[in-house]
Amino acid sequence: MQATATVLVYSDDSNTREQVRLATGRRPAPDVPVVEFVECATAAAVLKELDKGGIDVCVLDGEAVPMGGMGLCRQIKDEIFMCPPVLLLIARPQDAWLATWSRAEAAVTLPVEPVEFAGALAALLREKRLQGV
């Protein structure tokens, strides 16, 4: 198992980014690597970090302003070669269809519920490890 996994967290709201960090802890599950975070408050910062490479999973806030995570997810899926899997934070369960439109691999509702979030993040990290990417 790799030593660490790098998780990019995008939200214009520092409280949302903190919720993600706290829900994850050191690692979201015992069978996945320890997580290191890269925090971004703007879409431009997300694109810059993804261009550098080394991101294992992206967590995008669908409610971010001025560019929401859903639109950003769709953009990076089109523009980033071998785009990492995306966990989308959505406002309501009814918005799950928008997460599908954006091509996110998973979605959870805000505010972040720690057990649900950690489970979704761990599943994406496991899948990435199985793909060997």
**Rounded distance between C-alpha atoms, residue 27 and residue 35, angstroms:** 5
**Rounded distance between C-alpha atoms, residue 123 and residue 49, angstroms:** 23
Backbone angles phi, psi at 59, to 5 degrees: -115, 115
Closest by CA to 21, choosing from 112, 88, 127, is 112
pTM comes to: 0.95
CATH number at residue 74: 3.40.50.2300
3-class SS at 57? strand
DSSP 55: -
pLDDT per residue as tens digits for the range 92-121:
999 999 999 999 999 999 999 999 999 999
**Rounded distance between C-alpha atoms, residue 114 and residue 120, angstroms:** 10
Q: What is the pLDDT of residue 3?
A: 87
- Token pair, residue 123, equals 């599943």
pLDDT per residue as tens digits for the range 35-52:
999 999 999 999 999 999
**Rounded distance between C-alpha atoms, residue 35 and residue 71, angstroms:** 25
